Amino acid sequence: MDYEELAGVLKALADPNRLKIIDLLSGGSLCACHLLDHFAFTQPTLSHHMKVLAKAGIVEVTKEGTWHHYQLTESFVTEFMESIGQLFLAPAQASSKKTSETDERNR
């Protein structure tokens, strides 16, 4: 697990507007103009949010002329869930295994 990379992703996710962008993109690729329809901020602000998400590897952009289409990076969800699972579930599973081993020895 790369803690620096995971921290960067979590920092990028720690904004309600970016979470909403991810939610919107979970339905598929969207043009920046369609994303803007869901927010009360300007195009430069959307551009800033998208740059943060792209730098963290969460979204990718396809340019078609003057249009920018954004989509979730295909591998992001799987890799993110694996990292979170390793961070939170591995210690719990190890603790559970130790508890069951101790229970077996005490029988």
- Total domains in the fold of the chain: 1
Joined together, the tokens standing for residue 2 give 């790369």
Q: Residue 107 falls within a domain, yes or no?
A: no
Joined together, the tokens standing for residue 14 give 């720690």
Joined together, the tokens standing for residue 47 give 């551009």
Asked if 38 contacts 20 with a C-beta cutoff of 8 angstroms, the reply is yes
Containing structural domain, residue 68: 3-100
Joined together, the tokens standing for residue 16 give 């309600």
Q: Residue 105 falls within a domain, yes or no?
A: no
Joined together, the tokens standing for residue 9 give 């992703």
Amino acid at site 70: Y
Q: Residue 106 falls within a domain, yes or no?
A: no
Q: What is the pLDDT along the chain (107 residues), one digit of tens a residue?
A: 689 999 999 999 999 999 999 999 999 999 999 999 999 999 999 999 999 999 999 999 999 999 999 999 989 989 999 999 998 887 666 666 655 655 666 66
List the CATH number of the domain containing 52.
1.10.10.10
Q: Residue 59 falls within a domain, yes or no?
A: yes
